[in-house]
Amino acid sequence: MQWTTLFKKELLENWRNKKWIWFPLVMILIAIMDPLTTYYMPLIIDAVGGMPEGTVFELPEFTPTDVIMMSLGQYSIIGVIVIALISMGTIAGERKSGVSELILVKPVSYKNYILSKWASLNVLVWFAACLGLFASWYYVNILFGELSFLALLQIIFFYGLWLTFVLSLSIFYNALLKSPGLILFATIATIVTMSIVTQIFSHVLSWSPNKLSSHIIEMLQTDQIGSALWGAAVITVALSIGLIISAIYIFRKKEMAA
Amino acid sequence: MPDIISSDLLLILLPIMVIQLILMIVALVDWVKAEETNGPKWVWLVIILLLNIIGPVIYFIFGRRQK
């Protein structure tokens, strides 16, 4: 089947350019940094020194939920930037180097071309996010107290949807724009704008994708999946699908014209 | 007392250091194999070796030349 072939080609390419190695490592690093430094903060302050004798620090007590949310907080900033970086050239770069012409001159449908790219990056992002959040969950359990495995799975599932949305946005801009730098900028600018708008109209937009993290906190605190979380999840999936369909449509139109 | 502190600190940093080391080695192997990079090759060596964590990552993103 054509789709499978293209999908395998994308996976192989991401393996060859080492994304499968460095991206999961970076995601693990981002996720474990906060739990570790938070727990050892007194030690680190001691080791770095420079504090006058007798200084007493009142460090707040952190619950497991607080700490795993710190990892998600890092993902929402650095993670999103790295995802935008790994996906910024996936179509635009091939257009520039002429590879996409080599592929599309054969009877390859535009739909399969874009879907294979989207799917292969999704597999990579979900894999890396699973590893990273699992590592963070592991440290949280050792250092801060228990957080159930079910909770971890729920976090991965709902937060993964947000990462898929970021990826879909980047693929959409890949179809629309030609320069990888511009795609990176547009993706991040869109995410930032969305988060500002969500904050301003937060009472109306409780189902905005940006609200996924705050609904996840609620889920961890109340131990049940609220309707707002499901709403935000459904909207996120719908927006991702919409973005990909428009990406295919735009790409087809542009390539036909070129 | 200082010994306990430093060994504890080492334990904290161990996972981070291991990940950093793997990143650097993979980047170096790739750098050695690469015939051409974006920009002068030796500059990327300096970046990979001197910038912790970020160095290898920016090499993978910007330094590798697509064939």
Residues A66-82 pLDDT 10s: 999 999 999 999 999 99
Q: What is residue B3's predicted lDDT score, i.e. its pLDDT?
A: 52
Q: What is residue A131's predicted lDDT score, i.e. its pLDDT?
A: 97
Number of helical H runs and strand E runs in chain B: 3, 0
Cβ proximity of A83 and A23 under 8 Å = no
Residues A59-68 pLDDT 10s: 788 999 999 9
Tallying the residues shown for chain B, one arrives at 67
Structure token pair of residue A54: 């007798």
Task: Kindly tell me if the per-residue pLDDT of A258 is higher than 50.
Answer: yes
Partner B, chain A 58-87, Cβ-Cβ below 8 Å: 82, 85-86
Give the count of domains, chain B.
1
Nearest to B12 among A28, A36, A85 (CB): A36
Q: Is A184 on the interface with B (CB under 8 A)?
A: no
Asked which of A204-208, A240-244, A254-258 is least confident by mean pLDDT, the reply is: A254-258
The string over A186-204, giving b where at least 16 C-beta atoms fall within 10 Å of a residue's C-beta and e elsewhere, is bbbebbeebeeebeeeeee
Q: What is the DSSP string of A68-126?
A: HHHHHHHIIIIIHHHHHHHHTTTTHHHHHHTHHHHHHTSS--HHHHHHHHHHHHHHHHH
- Dist. CA A185–CA A193, nearest whole Å: 12
Nearest to A29 among B12, B19, B66 (CB): B19
Q: Is A12 on the interface with B (CB under 8 A)?
A: no
Residues of A in contact with B3 (CB under 8 A): none
Task: Kindly tell me if the per-residue pLDDT of A215 is higher than 90.
Answer: yes
Q: What is residue B1's predicted lDDT score, i.e. its pLDDT?
A: 44
User: Which residue numbers of B have CB closer than 8 Å to A's CBs?
Assistant: 5-6, 8-9, 12, 15-16, 19-20, 22-23, 26-27, 30, 53, 56-57, 60-61, 64, 66
State mean pLDDT over A194-222.
Answer: 92
Task: Kindly tell me if the per-residue pLDDT of A107 is higher than 90.
Answer: no
Q: What is residue A213's predicted lDDT score, i.e. its pLDDT?
A: 92
Query: What range does the domain containing B24 cover?
Result: 2-63
Residues A129-178 pLDDT 10s: 999 999 999 999 999 999 999 999 999 999 999 999 999 999 999 999 99
Query: What range does the domain containing A181 cover?
Result: 2-257
Q: What is residue A189's predicted lDDT score, i.e. its pLDDT?
A: 97
What DSSP element (H or E) covers B11? helix B2-33
- Dist. CA A66–CA A72, nearest whole Å: 10
Residues A223-253 pLDDT 10s: 899 899 999 999 999 999 999 999 999 999 9
* Mean pLDDT, rounded, of chain A: 92
Yes or no, beta carbons of A43 and B12 under 8 Å apart: yes
Structure token pair of residue A104: 């599309």
Task: Give A206's contacts (C-beta < 8 A, 6+ positions apart).
Answer: A228, A231, A232
CA distance B16 to chain A (A): 7
Q: What is residue A251's predicted lDDT score, i.e. its pLDDT?
A: 92
Residues of B in contact with A42 (CB under 8 A): none
Yes or no, beta carbons of A32 and B8 under 8 Å apart: no
CA distance A218 to chain B (A): 30
- A99 φ/ψ angles, rounded to the nearest 5 degrees: -65, -40
* DSSP structure class, residue A25: H
Q: What is residue A168's predicted lDDT score, i.e. its pLDDT?
A: 97
State mean pLDDT over A80-85.
Answer: 96
Tokens 């350019």 found at: A17
Give the count of domains, chain A.
1
Yes or no, beta carbons of B23 and A40 under 8 Å apart: no
Chain A: residue nearest B57 by CA? A22
Residues A5-47 pLDDT 10s: 999 999 999 999 899 999 999 999 999 999 998 988 887 777 7
Q: Which of A108-117, A181-190, A198-207, B1-10 tops mean pLDDT?
A: A181-190
| pLDDT-flagged residues of chain B (< 70) | 1-6, 66-67
Chain B: residue nearest A87 by CA? B61
- A17 φ/ψ angles, rounded to the nearest 5 degrees: -90, 20
| Closest alpha carbon to A174 in A244, A102, A104 | A244
